[in-house]
A and B are shown apart, each in its own frame.
Chain A
Amino acid sequence: DTAVSQTPKYLVTQMGNDKSIKCEQNLGHDTMYWYKQDSKKFLKIMFSYNNKELIINETVPNRFSPKSPDKAHLNLHINSLELGDSAVYFCASSQIRDRGNEKLFFGSGTQLSVL
């Protein structure tokens, strides 16, 4: 009954490869996010997406792209992986239309290691 689930938990891959991380939420939320947490623990927003609007942090390389097949899923695709992409990636969701419930529910994170 995990509210926000993401897979895989660990991802080890070679430079130059293309990989995807999947995220699903069963909370009925209208907005989903991807955050990158670096080795210094900084949580950097990458994308915010509801079924109407995708907001992209302009500092995110275009090698990263979110894909939402439906309201409950927001997958993260990464092309041509680089060493600097190594980090923990967190998916999150919230219900922004329901004022008073905007808190973020995070997935358990995906530890990406690029060799």
Chain B
Amino acid sequence: GENVEQHPSTLSVQEGDSAVIKCTYSDSASNYFPWYKQELGKRPQLIIDIRSNVGEKKDQRIAVTLNKTAKHFSLHITETQPEDSAVYFCAATHSSGGSYIPTFGRGTSLIVHP
């Protein structure tokens, strides 16, 4: 099955700095890569996703890049704000219309200091 490694486990930055979280996956058939943000005591929510036919996607201050050959993808947050503090999860999925099991990384706790 799929195995997703996520680094770092904890990331501490100053407000205004950039933050980068990296993930690698093992199953070359995976073709959908979502990122979820989970604030303290809340449910995980999708913030951005990318498919294997796209190398980069951006939405305001967040961007995701995908290197399909190397099987790694990254989340980039620019101009970080205290409200970006949360746990971020990457996931890799083989989406074929049949079985569909998103496999999550172990999460990155991002702390943005004011």
Give A residues with C-beta under 8 Å from B.
31, 40-45, 48, 53, 55, 90, 94, 96-97, 99, 102-104, 106-109
Contact = CB atoms under 8 A, between A and B. Distances in A.
Nearest to B41: A109
B3 to A, nearest CB: 13
B34 A103 contact: yes
Contact of B87 (A41, A90, A106): A41
Contacts of B109: 41
Contacts, number: 55
Contacts of B93: 102
Given A55-B99, A104-B102, A108-B43, A41 B34 contact: no
Contacts of B49: 103
Contacts of A102: 32, 34, 93, 95, 100
Nearest to A100: B51
A53 B99 contact: yes
Nearest to A103: B46
A56 B32 CA distance: 21
